Amino acid sequence: MIAETGLAALWLAASLALLQLVLAFVGVKGNKPDLLAAVRPAAVAQGVLTAIAFALLIALFMRSDMSVLLVATNSHSAKPWLYKFAGTWGNHEGSMLLWVTVMGVAGAAVALFERALRRDTHMATLGGQAAISLGFYAFLLFSSNPFARIDPAPADGQGLNPLLQDPGLAFHPPTLYLGYVGLSVAFSFAIGALLTRQVDASFARAMRPWVLGAWVLLTLGITAGSYWAYYELGWGGWWFWDPVENASLMPWLAATALLHSVTVLATRDALRAWTVMLAVVAFSMSMVGTFLVRSGILTSVHAFAVDPTRGSFILGLLALYIGGALALFGWRIGAVREGAPFELVSRETMLVINNLLLTVILGLVLIGTLYPLMTEAFGHKVSVGAPYFDRIAGPIALALMIAMAAGPLVRWRRDQARVVSKRLLIPFGIALLLSSLVSALAWGRIGILPFLGLVIAGSVAVASLAPLWKRNLRRTPLFTYGMVIAHLGCAVSLGGMASDSAFTVEKLVAARPGDTIETAGWQLRFLQIQPLAGDNWTALQADMEVRRNGASVTIHPQSRFFASPPTSTSEAALLTRWDGQLYVVLGEEVEGGRWQLRIWWKPFVTLIWLGGIMIALGGALALLGRERRGWLMKWRARAAA
């Protein structure tokens, strides 16, 4: 009964989306207020229905209802409750239902909370949101029904991929999807504005909080995913340029560019066409990513079950929506007046440089990700991986960091090159100081990119604080703090990346209990190996006493064996200190009672994710600051009246 109710809720939501689409477009076109009055309730009801369907699927997983095909193929009654719960979206159908739910709830939020947008644009935006939702409802209902039954029901399920059985599964996919799919709102805003020809500063001010919100969640989702891969895969890597990671990076790059161009549009009424284009591109990248991951043309831990008809279905949706949006763009953008002009030395120019570099990186990541597919069509299998992306996108990203440091120090409208270079004097001095310091410390031992990374991270960190220099800190607006913290976060993260690739010490040993291993100033005493059993796994655990100087700590790297499906995973032991992380992995037993151990000392590696959190926090503060100012102004206006 639960499954059938869920399916009914989905069908109802899909019908409401169709109704919403028709009402919005007929209403806006014919200017019929009575039709438009029903658009917002339809959007809200749709959001509620998708949320109900999703909650029901969670309930089926929690109860381990094996008569539901999806539960039977992806869950197991012996799993801990957290993984029954989070396992709901650890499969193709469940994750697509999460996608549709986020889309529905985001549409409901736009219906309920958007007040700044002109009414006809608001309605057209909701129509756009309904149009894209419809395609994904169709995909879910016709080719990925999460509520399908199986008869007879099996005695127990096939279980969840053990790599996914981690608290990370409860956090990473939902946050990522909130950001990923949240960008659909920006897409719908662009459609709405093109339809009503309202591409102006007030439109940008209305769109900005939605873009910021999605971007914050996307940032958090990517950061969480990176840390999860880092500790779960057991080799100390935190970014693999895996196509699936690229699929989440591309919308982030587009959203970051959009975030900055929408500010130019809101402040100076410039970059109109470009901003609308970016809003279309950002969500298009989300859809391209989903196609790459879900179609099964790429193999990855994210790829779940592979089914070619699904691939063609998503490809069809992609062509329809991206093609449709671009056609609308081409048709209507001629009517959008050029924005205000701007000077060479101005904040606007710096933000255009930011957009240029971000877009070039986005283009390169896209080309690099798709290239192997294209050459395969010509019968030539190639790989494009870390060496390409590091070498090609790395230098551009470093240039972007420098632009990021300088940008906030340049005034809007017009500034003088001489004054700007004076403001950059201190960061430049720091850069010189750092280069000589790093050269003296590690010349010849580290590559050119890590070297530049360290130097640029240090000087950009200082420069990003400069906008607060000589300001009354109590009267500085919250969004300025947001920008400073986000930019500082970029520098912190870059510092962590550069430090990890420059200074990591690796030690591979085969050791016997009783042995002591020394590496990078650490002493590890291998105490013993013992068996251990969890809810649905057994493990061999090494107990190791670790000390640097002073007190010792005991850590427990494990090698886990899961019965359903039969898999083994390694659970790394991580010891976090202020200056880095000790990363210990227990491998297989080798001859002579010795065990293979992999030990890394990674100086300041944690800065990578700390920086990611700072970036998201900065975005959240900026969002709060803008919104609060809006509330304050409204409140004052009301008090005055």
Partner 1 sequence: MKLILLLFALIATPLAAQTALPPAPYADQQLADPALERKAKALMETIRCLTCQSQSIADSNASMAGDMRSQIRERIMAGEQPEAIRAWLIARYGDWVSYEPTAAPILWPLWAAPLVLLGLGVLLLRSRIKRKARS
Question: How far apart (Å, rounded) are the C-alpha atoms in residues 45 and 63?
Answer: 27
Closer to partner 1 by CB, 177 or 274: give it. 274
State both tokens at 149. 């039954």
> Across the beta sheet with 573-577, what order do the strands follow?
505-511, 594-603, 580-590, 573-577
Out of 30, 152, 334, 341, the only residue in the binding site for partner 1 (CB under 8 A) is 341
565 binds partner 1, rule: CB under 8 A? no
Q: How far is the CB of 235 from partner 1 (least distance, A)?
A: 3
Q: Which stretch binds partner 1 (CB under 8 A): 12-20, 136-144, 474-482, 561-569?
A: 561-569
> Could you tell me the sign of the dihedral formed by the alpha carbons of 120, 122, 128, 134, in that order?
negative
384: contact with partner 1 by CB under 8 A: yes
Structure-token pair, residue 134: 């419809």
Phi/psi at 523 (nearest 5 deg)? -115, 125
Binding-site string for partner 1 from residue 349 to residue 368, where x marks contact by CB under 8 A and - marks none: x--xx--x--xx--xx--xx
140 interacts with partner 1 by CB under 8 A: no
Residue 499 is a binding residue for partner 1 (CB under 8 A): no
Strands 516-519 and 522-533: antiparallel
Environment class of 151 (CB within 10 Å of its CB; exposed 0-12, middle 13-18, buried 19+): exposed
- Which residue type sits at 19? L
Residue 417 engages partner 1 in binding (rule: CB under 8 A): no
Q: How far is the CB of 114 from partner 1 (least distance, A)?
A: 32
Which is nearer to partner 1, 23 or 352 (by Cβ)? 352
Q: What is the dihedral of CA 290, 294, 297, 301, to 10 degrees?
A: 100
CB of 534 to partner 1, least distance (A): 8
**Six-digit token string for 319:** 């062509």
Using the minimum distance from each CB to partner 1, give the nearer residue, 106 or 277.
277
Of 301 and 553, nearer to partner 1 (C-beta) is 301
Residue type for position 365:
V
Is residue 386 near partner 1 by the rule CB under 8 A?
yes
- Tell whether residue 336 is a contact of partner 1 (CB under 8 A): no
The rounded distance, in Å, linking the Cα atoms of 351 and 297 is 36
Task: Compute the distance between CA of residue 259 and CA of residue 619 in angstroms, rounded to an integer.
Answer: 10
Stretch that binds partner 1, among 8-16, 115-123, 315-323, 383-391 (CB under 8 A): 383-391
- The binder of partner 1 chosen from 309, 312, 383, 421 (CB under 8 A): 383
Among 78, 420, 517, 613, binds partner 1 (CB under 8 A): 78
A 10 A CB-CB count for 12 gives 16
When asked if residue 243 is in the footprint of partner 1 (CB under 8 A), the reply is yes
Within 8 A by CB and 6+ apart from 209, the residues are 623, 626, 627
Q: Which residues bind partner 1 (CB under 8 A)?
A: 78, 233-237, 240, 242-244, 298-301, 303, 341-344, 349, 352-353, 356, 359-360, 363-364, 367-368, 371, 375, 378, 380-388, 392, 396, 506-508, 510, 531, 533, 536-540, 561, 563, 566, 568, 570, 587-589, 596, 598
